[in-house]
Structure 1
Amino acid sequence: MKDIIVAKRDGVARVTLNRPAARNAVTLAMWRELADIFSRFADDRDVRAVVLAGEGKDFSVGADISEFDSIRDDKQQSADYEVAVDACSGAIAALGKPVVAAISGYCLGGGCHLALACDFRFGDRTAIIGIPSAKLSIVYGVRSVQRLLALTGIANAKRILYSADRYPAEQAMSMGLIDEIHDDASLAAERFLERLADNAPLSIAGAKYMLNGLSTGAGGLDLAVAQQLVDVASDSEDFREGRRAFAEKRAPRFRGE
């Protein structure tokens, strides 16, 4: 049985963590596989948006701590492990296509790390979010702390990291950890992304790059890359198609080129 399942339909890919018996705890191999999956989506014209979800009742309880004695036992192993984790979240955040985390049940630690890297977090009423690093003597990685700070503000970020508490859906939304609550988070995410998938890919990619960079503070945005994204969109066939569709009063047919 695969630990990660990928399915595609109508331009939306669904990536499912598939270890329900372990509450979708993420192994080192899974961190690396997720990085590869999201990196490949960048060049996949059939994928315009992505839903990240967990099989069964939980999104993910986080990293599989049962492996830590063998793969994260000292400073060097911990550093190597964080490289894999950051590569995974980096691939999600860098993908120039919208990504929604559909959260049910537990979304803890490494699971929260995955969700923070997504563009949006939709939860159902069973969702419980938290970062228990202070109960494990783990310092959360810089990139994830940046994302947490950008979403929740400094007071909530400190509360979340210092306390290691778990927050139910309504409270998590009030703190900025969840954007929307639905009876069926996965279905709501898919419907939302189906709408976005009709919009211009170059516009979304440019906006995502700029917003992610600006949200991380000084030095987070490469202005040259940002300008290149503006220039590519301005000289694209999609831009010409958008103008034609506007003049012809019809829906545009964007191709991402």
Structure 2
Amino acid sequence: MADLLVTTDGPVATVTVNRPALRNSVTLAMWSGFVDIFARLGADPAVRAIILTGAGADFSSGADIGEFAAVRDDLDQSKAYEVAVDAGCAAIAHVAKPVIAVCRGYTLGGGAHLAMSADFRFAAPDTKFGIPAARLSIVYGEQATRKLLALVGLTEAKRILFSAERFDAARALEIGFVDDVSDDPLAAAHAFAAHLAGLAPLTQAGAKFILNSAAFGDLDEGRVDAVIDAASASEDYAEGRRAFAEKRAPRFVGA
């Protein structure tokens, strides 16, 4: 899909929203495209970390409102549209690999949901965040609202959603919406992704599953036990012990 580009640099894959002339607004087809792309990257053992970013000056201005008359014109279409948005963002949130969103320029509405679906958010100082749902009489979806609450807490989540006000990267860092602000967030994200790629993928996948489940209120102890047991029985665990004894870097393969 030309609107979503995938490149790889060693163990790090980069997914780029590629509509810079339209501030990387996301179409209905693109929401579905995220599902396919992140499923493919999740199944590729050569990929150990993923960067999500936007082409040009912006991360994403959110859903392409210009197509709403055709794809979100009535209640049934609106429900179907929200299902597609949630599926696309869930594919990012639940892929069993670290995902880093690199934000600059507009990161608004559905674009904010994309960023919140990543495990980490690195931002340029000029990034403008916001959720303009209150300007459109749209209720931000449950999945996105849970993510916002988990990041910034109840009062800040209410302020962001009630007011529809934009906030800058410094404010985003202060309230916990982003994790890092720098002049070159893409380079910072690549360095962090490369570091993560050298560590145990089963640990990262298990920690991500448990933390996300706990944050979103759907922790299943049986599945948690299965994740922990799978890591304990893995060759990677044996390799980690060997590497420690031999005083060398471990060579993890994710199995």
- Corresponding residue of 2:222: 224
- Corresponding residue of 2:215: 215
- Corresponding residue of 1:26: 26
Q: Distance in 1 between matches of 2:229 and 2:41?
A: 23
For residue 100 of structure 1, give the secondary structure of its aligned residue in structure 2. strand
Q: Distance in 1 between matches of 2:131 and 2:214?
A: 24
Q: Distance in 2 between matches of 1:88 and 1:138?
A: 19
RMSD value, Cα? 0.8
Deviation at 1:46, TM superposition (A): 1.3
TM-score with structure 1 setting the length: 0.98
| Corresponding letter in the other structure for 1:106 | Y
| Corresponding letter in the other structure for 1:227 | D
Aligned length: 255
TM-score with structure 2 setting the length: 0.99
| Corresponding letter in the other structure for 2:254 | G
Structure 2 unpaired stretches of 5+: none
Q: Distance in 2 between matches of 1:221 and 1:194?
A: 30
- Corresponding residue of 2:172: 172
Deviation at 1:210, TM superposition (A): 0.4
Residues 1-257 of structure 1 mapped to structure 2, 5 A cutoff: 2-217=2-217, 220-257=218-255
For residue 253 of structure 1, give the secondary structure of its aligned residue in structure 2. coil
Q: Distance in 2 between matches of 1:138 and 1:47?
A: 37
| Corresponding letter in the other structure for 2:12 | V
| Corresponding letter in the other structure for 1:151 | L
| Corresponding letter in the other structure for 2:62 | G
| Corresponding letter in the other structure for 1:101 | A
Q: Distance in 2 between matches of 1:178 and 1:42?
A: 24
Deviation at 1:222, TM superposition (A): 1.5
Q: Distance in 2 between matches of 1:8 and 1:118?
A: 18
Q: Distance in 2 between matches of 1:62 and 1:72?
A: 14
Structure 1 unpaired stretches of 5+: none
Q: Deviations over 1:115-162 (max 9, x none)?
A: 011000000111111000010111111011001000000000000000
For residue 29 of structure 1, give the secondary structure of its aligned residue in structure 2. helix
For residue 50 of structure 1, give the secondary structure of its aligned residue in structure 2. strand
Q: Which segment is superposed worse, 170-179 or 150-159?
A: 170-179
Runs of 4+ that moved beyond 6 A:
none
